[in-house]
Structure 1
Amino acid sequence: MDLLTSMPAFVFACLIIAASPGPATALVLRRAALRGFRPTVPVVLGLELGLYLWALLAAAGVAALVAASEVAYLVLRVVGAAVLVYLGGKALLAAWRSRGRLVPDPLEAGPEPTAGGGWRAFGEGLMVQMANPKAAVFMVAFYPQFVPAERPLFATTAGLAALQIVLDTAVYLAFAAGVARAGEWFRRPRIRRRLEAVTGTVLVALGLRVAVSSH
């Protein structure tokens, strides 16, 4: 298949993938609802860096080794599950601590007080993406469909991945902007507690699913 001919299908697939629910969507939703748009940007950038790194690892053959190795896949699966359960547990703990609170806690809602919060958010996004064993399997299966045999594998994959990152980032930032507009409503104590409980439960459930999943 010619690269230009396959572009519409590639773009459409990337948009569908970006819009699919999962750990990344849950992170972006929670962050945008409780912190606003700007503090959500580092999470999105971390997620996208992780996605791009997996694409490059797939082009270099590393992702294929991870997907094929039972030990490597198991280690990554355990780490990924632990990360998601940890983040979900934090959200559930925040929901439990906020019981009976009549006003929002200024330390738990609104913009980050320091730049360190942005780096932590970036690290969370990167960690969630890189510790996802399904990302390795997906990249190995996804990109070869769009790389013509006569094209250099690594360079072509890197270019396609860059396009995917642009599309993915646009979708997540648009999603974050829409959610952030309703931030005041989300930060009401009762709504915030429910949001923390729901996103925490989703993240824990996704972590458990990763823990028991196979190739």
Structure 2
Amino acid sequence: MSSIMARQDVPERRGNRVLQAQRRLFLRASDIILIVAINAVLVVAMWVRHGGLDQLGSTSAKFTAAGQITALLGTYGALVQIFLMSRTPWLERRFGMDGLAQWHRWLGFSVVILIGAHVVFSTVGYALGDGKSVVAEAWTLVTTYPYVLMATVATGLLIMTAITSLRAVRGQMKWETWRFLHLYAYLAVALAFGHELAVGTDFSSDFVAIWYWVGLYVA
């Protein structure tokens, strides 16, 4: 009788372990979301502090402002993405490599969307302000505006990294080749940071903002 009861307890214990594991995963996801959200709010708050909302006047200014905030959030997302896959021991023990890889992948495509939105919004905003077509304005920005070519290269590298990370594409590549191409994301982030330092209003006169972003990059 006791052996029968013991066998009946096995599924219940397994069910409890599964439930506890699900709860731990939920807390882990909540921890990540909280940390990411707090810093995202700080990024937006600094943008507002530097006159982000004050730019919402003309249509061209609205597009330009949207380009600024999407650039800041996209760059921040890229830093979070790199941090998640930094192979930090305590981070791996806390969240597990599978969980970190899923977040890394989701953030990667989100970053590309945000940076792409930055390019579109900024180009349209400047085009409306200058009275040019979008194509003509894009050419002007790349060829005459300082540090825009740097940002263009960074955007191209990010797009390349995202495309080669698609399962259909990645499956056709050797792991070594994919890894080599994936490392260009670090160069893209470095170029983007140089672009932000040079032309970003969040860095022009705010010592706190400069060191906050430097801290994010160093971390």
Q: TM-score range by the shorter chain?
A: 0.3 to 0.5
Provide the TM-score with structure 2 as the length reference.
0.32
Which has the greater radius of gyration?
2
Structure having the higher helix fraction is 2
